[in-house]
Structure 1
Amino acid sequence: MPLGVSWLAIAHFGTGVAILGLLGPVWSFRSRPGAQLWAGVVVLMAATTFAFGASLLVFDQGLRLLFEMAALTTLLWTAVFFLSFALTYTGRAHLLHSWWVRCLVVAQGVGTALLLSNPVHRLLWTNFRLDPVLGSATVLYDKEPLLFAVAGVTYLVVGIGIVVLVETVASYGPSYRRQAVAIATTPLFPIVASLIWLLGIGPYPQLNLVALSFLPHLTLDVYALFGRDMFELPPGLRRAGERAALDELGSPVFIVADDGRVIDANAAAVRMFDVDPDPALGRPLDDLLGQDLAMAAEEQRVDLLVGGERQTFKLVFSPFETRSGLHGGFTVIMQDVTAEIQRKQRLEVLNRILRHNLRNDLNVVQLHAQELELTLTDPERRGHAAAIEDISDELVDLGEKARWAAQALEDASYHSVSLRDVLDDVVRDVRANHPDARVDLDVGASVTLHTDPEVLTLVFTSVLENAIEHNEEGEPQVTVTADDGDPDSLRIQVRDDGPGIPEHERRVIEDGGETALDHGSGVGLWLIHWGVTLLGGDVAFEVAQSGTTVSIRLPTTGGPRSE
């Protein structure tokens, strides 16, 4: 078997060694998504290059045919590994089991079988012959149409991988535009080289330089994938994180196209509505839920039968745009508000009982107590009647305060308000109810807020009454000051000379809830907390031996705080 040494073969071996050297950058990231498949791509490209290089040294036609088939076989499967890498790296590994990827793999398998059995059926090429050039064992053969079909499938497999990578890298933003261009450019080298060989273009149609084109192809890939640490933070991890976050949501979420067809659904949606994800894709969400949805609205409430139970959902529609700025569709978040509605209904009933039934009954109790106090002659019994009347008065007042609070907190309306005007009215009413108390107001007439005056009145009435009613001094003293040094917020401080708010009362507010063992003695502090929170501010209590300071911060351009 005559052997010839040529610079062309040496170039192939040198290229193969250089390609294997590109395994280095990926080694430290071998546990990352797609890294092992990338190593497989590099190894197959190197194997193809070494096979082509070795074939250029073999002048025995039979053995030369074996090297040619080996090189072409590794070339076909390099494309398969490249597509697998692209899908895994970009977080689409689940598509490896899709029907269309399986079809492409089967097509490459059929191409491989045809290639290896060509000496028998001659469907891919005929007239295989040695035609040395440049001192190398190059060959010529007559290419049949089926060989072009096999090459076309290989181009398709590589092209899909390139599109997937370019789309993902481009999504990283303008700073990765060069990497996207590099990935889009890389297939040009092997594609052009293979087309020149397939079509027999140029003075040496027997030269196949596809293997040599791998070096610039892989070099650009390495720059694109490693030049900006994109293997340290691969999109597959980001996509997996996004998917996990979506699936971890307890609420069902649907992603729908502009025409209302389902694009994606999270695990909660699949589980709650017992739908198969694949058949659900492409179906109108209206049909899936059995409801006419108005996605142009920000939200919609629907009643659905889930697991044999009637449940109420609030659907929140959030439009999203494509990267080109066009409207792409909607994210539909379904919040189960059944318990919330039932709780609201119970509260409305209890509130009605508190406002009407209990108040009416207490009025009857008051009348009887007053009658007893007038008719009884025994001082001790008259005292009991007076105590009943006083407690009844307190309960009626508490009911009125609860009614006022419920209405104010429910129907808040925001506009520009003079803080001094609001506080003047509050102080006047408090002084009328507590004539022995002294309330000093040190607030400028020019201080204004964009807020709800009714809620503001509720808050400061509660603060002042709490300071006075829990003060055991004969003449309680309260001072109200305002600091408008911050253009974005206003701090109002209310200082009293009372014993201070008990620590367990403050802890209940700070913890955000009451228990059977740890609770407050009234609603005053809760009204302060609810009102200030609704106005977008915060409240703090500072207790000292000299009294309590309630510090309230409110935004000057406020509005209702979103829950």
Structure 2
Amino acid sequence: MALGRWLVGAAVLTVVGSVGLIAYLWRYRKEPGADWFVASISMQLLWNLLYAISLFVADPAVRRPLESVMVGVATGTSLLFVSFAMTYTGRARFDERLAAIGIVATVFGGIGLLTMNPMGIAVASFRVVPIGGVAGVRIVFEPLMIALGTGIILAAVVGSLVLFDTVVSYGPLYRGEALAVGLSSLPPAAGYAVWLFGVGPVPELNLMPALFLAHVALDGYAFVYNDMFEFNPATRRAGERAAIDDLGSPVVIVDEDSRIVTLNRRAERVLEVTKREALTTSIESHVDASIDLTADRCRLAVDGEDGTRRRYSVTSTPLSDTRGRTVGYTLVWQDVTDAVRRERRLDVLNRVLRHNLRNDMTIVAGFAESAAADTADDGTVTTMLDTVVDTADRLVSLGETAREIETVLDGDPTPEPVDVGEMMAWIGERARETDPEATVCVTCPDVTCPLDGETFEAVCMEIIENAVVHGGPRPTVEIEVTAGEGGVTVRVDDDGPGVPDRELVPIRQGEETALEHGSGLGLWLVRWGMDRLGGDLDFETGEDGTTVILDVPC
């Protein structure tokens, strides 16, 4: 029978393939799981080398300890493979030094158990059998050793299952590599099981060397051909853990029935509950409120750790399985307590100041006009009172612009079909009413765009009326609208003195400072309105006037 010599050849080929694989992977030894895998391949190499030697050892006194060492090496190979699978996929949260100590203890413990065989608890019988030109061995194991050997096989299976889970969880990114390495451990595990239970056609010979060749070939495909350590799922899993566990905001994951599946430490503190207590309970039972999981965002109020009422904006994101079915939701909580307080304070201040400003300035303007009429003969006093009236009118206008900004920009945009030509014609007529001597020309194609009509109208009205008010003695304003594939462009030209740079700098920067600030709110209405529309705003100022360009997507 030539099977024995074929097994020697297979063992030698496995040794050569393992050496080549180790040499190639040495550059990746700092990658997650690489050191464990190199160690596993090294043990695989050692086992095949020892088995090739053992086939020529017929002395039972030498062969028995050699077989004991081989069982220990096989145990180490399996346990190291599991450690690789756990670390490579980012699941390892154990002390690697402690794991290494455990593997070494298990390997040497197994070797000692088989070698000494105290009270015959490991091996029932052991004899060397010449077969096919080599020295085979017939071992009958006791139940304890069979149980330990089965554990070794199951460890290899567990490692494969962990890698298969990567295939399912992460899709095509790691599919080929993880599948190949996961399958690679199964042939040797099957060969070990056949040898352990003595059920093979030739129980005196261990078929693992031939099956290790498949192991080396699949590993070579994964690591050499597909660069398995170039794209490591441990990075992705670590990122997922960081996104949940290390995020400063509370994160709660629930199933479709609002039951808590997991939550991070910050959420435990906010809900004043441990993860063990929270699991499988309804999220609504911890917040005393109903949560619509299908809504993008909602607000909740929760009693804080210091006894104060905290308000949170909760964003809900659906979780889908590989078939695209919704299986749960991720709830990310953002503490908006301070923002809500500021919002309420600003709302009160804005409403009171705007109301009082309008009413009081109207009174001031009225009395100033009456006083100017009574003192018409005194030119100096009349001039002073006219200045008071103009200032009061500007302040009233400022308050009205603030109210318009609040009205227009409040709430979410509501896109709707807008006849741009009709709107421009109507705005042009309104602008002429502010100055009967003004010339307003509108050139616009027949175009309808889906956009937030209220915001678009407010922006264009502000720009065009401003062009008329600040134009020349007989202002001329030209409005030209062009339509493109991505939207419309509105170009407004006037013949005024131009917008001062001190007004444009903060608008372009998007904020005012103590040194750079405007004198009104009109241009801010235009800037904020264009931001709301998702468009671009540009100014071209020269000696012959100002050109405002609005690029509006639709």
- What is residue 543 of structure 2 aligned with on the other side? 545
1:440 maps to a residue whose letter is: C
Query: Whole-Å Cα distance in 2 between the matches of residues 504 and 89 of structure 1?
Result: 59
CA displacement at 1:52 relative to structure 2: 1.9
Give the conservation status (yes or no) of the 8 Å contact 2:90–2:237: yes
Note the alpha carbon deviations across 1:77-124, whole angstroms, 9 max, x for none.
211111111111112222668x9x99x979957972773465213222
- What is residue 561 of structure 1 aligned with on the other side? none
* Cα RMSD for the two superposed structures: 3.0
CA displacement at 1:517 relative to structure 2: 1.6
Structure 2, gaps ≥5 residues long: none
Query: Whole-Å Cα distance in 2 between the matches of residues 41 and 193 of structure 1?
Result: 17
- Distance 1:241-1:507 versus aligned 2 partners, 3 A rule: farther
Query: Whole-Å Cα distance in 2 between the matches of residues 248 and 511 of structure 1?
Result: 35
- What is residue 54 of structure 1 aligned with on the other side? 53
| Deviating more after overlay: 334-343 vs 454-463 | 334-343
1:70 maps to a residue whose letter is: V
- Distance 1:63-1:239 versus aligned 2 partners, 3 A rule: same
Q: Count residues in correspondence.
A: 547
- Distance 1:128-1:291 versus aligned 2 partners, 3 A rule: farther
Structure 1, gaps ≥5 residues long: 557-563
CA displacement at 1:276 relative to structure 2: 5.8
2:191 maps to a residue whose letter is: A
1:153 maps to a residue whose letter is: G
Query: Whole-Å Cα distance in 2 between the matches of residues 404 and 7 of structure 1?
Result: 90
1:438 maps to a residue whose letter is: T
- What is residue 71 of structure 2 aligned with on the other side? 72
- Distance 1:242-1:550 versus aligned 2 partners, 3 A rule: farther
- Distance 1:292-1:447 versus aligned 2 partners, 3 A rule: closer
Give the conservation status (yes or no) of the 8 Å contact 2:467–2:496: yes
Query: Whole-Å Cα distance in 2 between the matches of residues 325 and 76 of structure 1?
Result: 41
Give the conservation status (yes or no) of the 8 Å contact 1:111–1:150: no
Query: Whole-Å Cα distance in 1 between the matches of residues 140 and 470 of structure 2?
Result: 105
| Deviating more after overlay: 117-126 vs 459-468 | 117-126
CA displacement at 1:44 relative to structure 2: 0.9
- What is residue 138 of structure 1 aligned with on the other side? 136
Query: Whole-Å Cα distance in 2 between the matches of residues 197 and 243 of structure 1?
Result: 42
- What is residue 409 of structure 2 aligned with on the other side? 409
Give the conservation status (yes or no) of the 8 Å contact 1:189–1:216: yes
SS state at 2:314 partner: strand
2:157 maps to a residue whose letter is: G
| Deviating more after overlay: 203-212 vs 106-115 | 106-115
1:334 maps to a residue whose letter is: W
- What is residue 237 of structure 1 aligned with on the other side? 235
| Deviating more after overlay: 274-283 vs 497-506 | 274-283
Query: Whole-Å Cα distance in 2 between the matches of residues 489 and 304 of structure 1?
Result: 45
Note the alpha carbon deviations across 1:491-529, whole angstroms, 9 max, x for none.
111112223222332221222111122111111111111
- What is residue 434 of structure 1 aligned with on the other side? 435
Query: Whole-Å Cα distance in 1 between the matches of residues 260 and 139 of structure 2?
Result: 52
Q: 1:304 aligns with which of 302, 305, 330?
A: 302
CA displacement at 1:341 relative to structure 2: 1.9
Q: TM-score, normalization: structure 2? A: 0.90
Give the conservation status (yes or no) of the 8 Å contact 1:45–1:211: no
- What is residue 461 of structure 1 aligned with on the other side? 461
CA displacement at 1:347 relative to structure 2: 2.6
Query: Whole-Å Cα distance in 2 between the matches of residues 321 and 8 of structure 1?
Result: 49
Query: Whole-Å Cα distance in 2 between the matches of residues 106 and 30 of structure 1?
Result: 20
1:491 aligns with 2:497: no
Give the conservation status (yes or no) of the 8 Å contact 2:479–2:493: yes
| Deviating more after overlay: 27-36 vs 499-508 | 499-508
User: Counterparts of 1:522-533 in structure 2 under 5 Å?
Assistant: 522-533=520-531
SS state at 1:487 partner: coil
CA displacement at 1:195 relative to structure 2: 2.6
Query: Whole-Å Cα distance in 2 between the matches of residues 383 and 19 of structure 1?
Result: 100
Give the conservation status (yes or no) of the 8 Å contact 2:72–2:108: no
SS state at 1:138 partner: strand
CA displacement at 1:156 relative to structure 2: 2.0
CA displacement at 1:151 relative to structure 2: 2.1
CA displacement at 1:540 relative to structure 2: 1.4
Note the alpha carbon deviations across 1:218-255, whole angstroms, 9 max, x for none.
32023124422231121112333444455675432223
- Distance 1:148-1:260 versus aligned 2 partners, 3 A rule: farther
